[in-house]
A and B are shown apart, each in its own frame.
Chain A
Amino acid sequence: SAVISQKPSRDICQRGTSLTIQCQVDSQVTMMFWYRQQPGQSLTLIATANQGSEATYESGFVIDKFPISRPNLTFSTLTVSNMSPEDSSIYLCSVISREGGEAFFGQGTRLTVV
């Protein structure tokens, strides 16, 4: 299993500003995944963060809006840039178990943009 510490757990931000979300894993992992969960919706994959290379973004998500850093095998950040109220969501980081394929999630960051 993996334990993921994600922070902040929640924030209220002004539109036009940026927020950086951090995830720390208790073991080394090759890939980390960032998801968005809008109110009442399921999880949508934003991007896959690989250590030592640029993140791979899903359709509809771009690096300028959601820059990602992956400086080492246990840590990643996601920045939500130039925020608007439409960015209000829960953001989750995740890793996948090497052994079994199951995913482990951070506790999520509840972002409200006003």
Chain B
Amino acid sequence: SQKIEQNSEALNIQEGKTATLTCNYTNYSPAYLQWYRQDPGRGPVFLLLIRENEKEKRKERLKVTFDTTLKQSLFHITASQPADSATYLCALTSGGYNKLIFGAGTRLAVHP
């Protein structure tokens, strides 16, 4: 069966360090993979999209890698700040019309 796995345990890091979150998937062949941020009581907000033929994508302090052989994506936040504290979700497309399926999310807490 198809699965998207993210570390369900919260990730606690010190301000200024790099946070690394993992997304693994099985039985998917996604054309692209996306990362979202979700704050409590709000809908997810899009952060980055990486295509199957791209190995790495950057946006400001964010970096995403995509390894289709390992079926894994890593999401990095460099120079982390307390304002980065949130739940981060990875999402894959499924079906011919870009239906998005989400992982369970990883909660990140950045401590001053």
B-binding residues in A (CB < 8 A): 31, 33, 35, 41-43, 45, 48, 92, 94, 96, 100-108, 110
Contacts and interface: CB of A to CB of B under 8 A. Distances in A.
Nearest to B36: A103
Interface string B70-109: 0000000000000000000101010001111111110000
Contacts of A96: 98, 100
Given A45-B100, A96-B98, 5 more contacts: A33-B99, A43-B102, A104-B46, A106-B43, A107-B42
A107 B97 CA distance: 23
The DSSP consensus for interface residues of chain B is strand
Contacts of A31: 97
Contacts, number: 49
Contacts of A48: 97, 99
13 contacts: A42-B104, A42-B105, A45-B99, A45-B101, A92-B43, A100-B49, A101-B34, A101-B93, A103-B36, A103-B44, A104-B46, A107-B42, A110-B41
A107 B101 CA distance: 19
A107 B39 CA distance: 11
Nearest to B44: A105
Contacts of B32: 101
A95 B104 CA distance: 20
Contacts of B99: 33, 45, 48
B89 A101 contact: no
B89 A43 contact: yes
Contacts of A41: 104
The 8 A-B residue pairs whose C-beta atoms are closest, nearest first, are A105-B43, A102-B46, A42-B104, A43-B102, A42-B102, A108-B43, A96-B98, A42-B105
B63 to A, nearest CB: 17
Nearest to B4: A42
A70 B81 CA distance: 42
